[in-house]
Amino acid sequence: MGKLEDALTGGGFPSTMPEAPSLTVPQQMAVAARLLAHDGYALDVAGHITVVRPDGDGSMWCTPYGLWWREITASDIIVIDPEGTVIEGKWDVTPAVFIHTEIHRARPDAPVLIHNHPYYGSLLSTLHMAPDITDQQACMFDGDILLFNEYTGGVDDAAGGEHLAQAIGDASAIILANHGVLITGSAVAHATYRALTFERTCRLNYDALAAAHKPVPVPPETRGLLKRSINTLSVDYYWGGAVRHLLATEPEVLD
């Protein structure tokens, strides 16, 4: 057994790196929104992040509609019920809330959803193309990528959200044709890292095509261990550093 397998079965690598501050879920969501925006992931007021609350009634935290992700603070996070009605908070909810309500309803394995229109993911969506697993980091998505090859306009009712939820099945990195990208995760940190890595995957695929070269996929038999390690060990390393750097310059995000 190699060191990577040892780390996965034994609780991770020994580390003296500083930990990220302990944050509430709304604080994590505000941090995630700003991190994604700073990385060019957010398109003005488009996009939404939801996290199912642990009380079992189907309610969820949601980023507000109308604010840019780069300006969201923890106190801006709203709470919606399973039908998408705001039950806590001072802001409105996105008209596309049914993307989230219906996928969360169908997918207990996906307590966190991130949707936006990042450039390279959206570019592939205009080509009706899903990225290949062509580099090591992309192995975290092995077997989880789906192209939803249909565009019927915005998802603005429960029926549309239910149709989308049924179509994507258990995929966790979805290209929405002529639209954008949808990412699921087990926690805010996990989903944020996956969203940023998937955009990088889309960019690498497109840049290779633009250079008139066909990308060479990572051999399938080598992907399993990397998928497990990047989806577990790498998340904490990313999130800890990203949170520390953000709070050093934008501490108001936690307000």
Please report, in tens digits, the pLDDT of each residue of the chain (255 residues total). 455 555 555 555 556 667 778 999 999 999 999 999 999 998 888 899 999 999 889 999 999 999 999 999 999 999 999 999 999 999 999 999 999 999 999 999 999 999 999 999 999 999 999 999 999 999 999 999 999 999 877 788 899 999 999 999 999 999 999 999 999 999 999 999 999 999 999 999 999 999 998 889 999 999 999 999 898 888 989 999 999 999 999 999 999
How many whole angstroms separate alpha carbon 16 and alpha carbon 105? 40
How many whole angstroms separate alpha carbon 124 and alpha carbon 143? 18
Collapsed DSSP state (helix, strand, coil) of residue 31: helix
Backbone angles phi, psi at 221, to 5 degrees: -70, -10
> Which pLDDT score is estimated for 14?
54
How many whole angstroms separate alpha carbon 96 and alpha carbon 105? 15
